[in-house]
Amino acid sequence: MAEMKMKDRPEFARIPRHVGLIPDGNRRWAKNRGLPAELGYAAGLAKGIEMLDEMIDIGVEEVSAYGFTQDNNKRPMEQREEFTCAVVGFVEAAMERDLSLRVVGDHTSECFPRELKPFALSRQGNGKLKFNLLVNYGWNWDLQHAIAQGRDQTRIQVHDLLASRDVSRIDLIVRWGGTRRLSGFLPVQSVYADFFVVDALWPDCSAEDFYTALEWYQKQDVTLGG
């Protein structure tokens, strides 16, 4: 399977160093099949691992991806239980890959999976891909941390005060599910990111979706405001 992907993969002159992934559409995927909405999360888990393998194979240095947000905790109990189970399963599978993993989110909350707390306290693993998984993450939580840390520091970069300071600037964000918004995804790190939307729902995603995003990325003029 890996050999087939390598053979069919287009050649790219420029690979983004840091890619952000927003895997949206799990609930819609389930409903379209007459299934309870919460069953979409398990379907998305396997696709997440496939996409992670693709990132490693293609040579991306850093990946950040949404697991679930603080706002997602407003959903019905059965959905919260399923997406929590999905992210724990994803981390277990991810740690079998060639990567280092950090979970970024409010680990002091009861909504944070206890199985993932060690990953929130320190980066685990020493593989070649730096992977950041956002779990119980909120943009306001992140920025409030910077405000609290920076009250008496006027000459330090805001990024260095964030709860997510271990996450570097993002070059390309790819969002599945057709929705054209960031949904609070790492607002400081995303400030100069190119943003590509895939209409396919996340459980239907494929490596070809990412190749299309990379082909589009080749044509973007990266100036960082200069």
What does the longest C-alpha to C-alpha distance in the chain come to? 55
Give the pair of three-digit tokens for residue 100: 């280092």
Q: What are the pLDDT digits (tens) for 165-192?
A: 999 999 999 999 999 999 999 999 999 9
Look up the CATH number of domain 19-214: 3.40.1180.10
* Model confidence, pTM: 0.93
Provide the Cα torsion 96, 91, 57, 9; round to 10°: 130
What CA–CA distance (Å, rounded) separates 169 from 186?
9
Q: What are the pLDDT digits (tens) for 19-69?
A: 999 999 999 999 999 999 999 999 999 899 999 999 999 999 999 999 999
Ordered by start, the domain boundaries in the chain are 19-214
CB 31 within 8 A of CB 203: no
What CA–CA distance (Å, rounded) separates 221 from 82?
40
